[in-house]
Amino acid sequence: MHWQVEHVPELTGYTVEWAEQGNYFLSRRNVLYHSRDLQPPFKKFAAIDAPIWKEVASTFRLAQRLLRFQVTNVIPLENGDVFVTFDKSVGIIRDHKYHNLDRLIRPCRVLRSACAINDKGSIFFGEYLANTEREVIRIYKYSGGTLEVVFTFPEKSIKHIHGIYFDEFTNSLFCLTGDDLNECQILQTFDDFKTIKVIGQGDETWRAVSLLFSEKHIFYGMDAEFRTNHIYQFDRKSGEREALGKVNGTVFYSKKIGNAFFFTTTAENAPSQTENSAALWHVDKNGICEQIVSFKKDRWHTTLFQFGTIHFPYVNKLKDRLYFHLVGVKGDNGVFVLTSQKQ
């Protein structure tokens, strides 16, 4: 199978947040749009409340990046509501109006695709904060219109939560934490965090931001600052790990097309980085890793104006293609589509 990447100029400035045949959600700054075919013009779905000065400033792309004025998760629910995380807020869109969720103890970011929705329709997410003082970190559950804290990591235990992911093969949730040595953990729960099983912890080989699942394995890329990053395959039955291949940098995001697994590296100029580029990697059914395309970091400051990243939709239900959006690299704010070409 050969994979081809094409630029989609008509989507420039938009991020595809949910990709399903006949049902697409896109974001542009603090506005969500809906489309049946991804052909502009797009129908405005809702605007997320934000200070006017931020809305005006963020019409300039660098200001948008500086302010992190962007959507990170969009999840349509069965009752017609849409769950959204934006900047440091979490809310619900109902009847095309945005409502902040009550009971969020403090503003917090949630990384892209880092919310889990389980088989009962409950959504789980964790706090992603700078947390230099190592205060407590919370996991929330949103269910039946109510937000509650279901687990709290004690002080001095972790820095933050990278993501929570639902494993449909075992009906369980996985939680990924970081950043320093013993703070790097992959955890599993079968009962909504009443009890937790440690899959692995203790060094940067267990530091991950996202997971992908198959019937027999769990896949993830390392998010290591100080050691070479690899993509790992974890065997569910034996509990053994296998490094499938070395990649050019820290891995943030991952997504599937059928049985094909895709991972993106991040241009953050970490000590472990072999080149300051964001790249898209493919892992085939035989565990072979291959870089498909890479994008060099742009000239703007990494910390102030965001790392160079490749953003996937929260869900990709398309069987033959995957859209992605560029941030902080040459071609910033552009959208591309990955498609398979049979050889």
Residue 41: is the preceding peptide bond cis (ω within 30°)?
yes
DSSP one-letter code for 312: P
Residue 285 confidence (pLDDT): 86
Per-residue pLDDT, averaged over 270-282, amounts to 93
Region 23-48: what's the mean pLDDT? Answer: 97
Long-range contacts of 143-151 (CB under 8 A, 24+ apart): 146/103, 147/90, 147/101, 147/102, 147/103, 147/104, 148/103, 149/103, 149/105, 150/124, 150/192, 150/193, 151/193, 151/196
Q: What is the mean pLDDT of residues 293-309?
A: 97
Report how far apart the first and last C-alpha atoms of the chain are (Å, whole number). 6
Mean pLDDT within 162-182? 97
With a cut of 70, say whether residue 127 has pLDDT above it: yes
Quote the pTM value: 0.96
What band does 125 get if pLDDT is binned at 50, 70 and 90? very high
Region 186-204: mean pLDDT is 97
Q: Given this model, what pLDDT does residue 310 score?
A: 98
The whole-angstrom separation of Cα 188 and Cα 8 is 38
pLDDT given for residue 195 in this prediction: 98
Q: Is the pLDDT of residue 44 over 60?
A: yes
pLDDT in tens, 231-266: 999 999 999 999 999 999 999 999 999 889 999 999
pLDDT at 1 > cutoff 90: no
User: Across 12-70, where does the E strand assignment appear?
Assistant: 15-20, 23-28, 31-35, 43-47
The model's confidence at residue 343, banded by pLDDT at 50, 70 and 90, is low
Mean pLDDT confidence for 144-151: 96
pLDDT value of position 137: 98
Q: What is the mean pLDDT of the chain?
A: 96
Position 148 pLDDT exceeds 60? yes
Distance between CA atoms of residues 196 and 192, nearest Å = 9
Residue 68 and residue 311 in contact, taking contact as beta carbons nearer than 8 Å: no
Dump pLDDT digits (tens) for 310-336: 999 999 999 999 999 999 999 999 999
Question: Average pLDDT of 155-164?
Answer: 98
Each residue's pLDDT tens digit, 68-116: 999 999 999 999 999 999 999 999 999 999 999 989 999 999 999 999 9
As to burial, measured by CB atoms within 10 angstroms (0-12 exposed, 13-18 middle, 19+ buried), residue 236 is middle
Q: How confident is the model at residue 274 (pLDDT cuts 50, 70, 90)?
A: confident
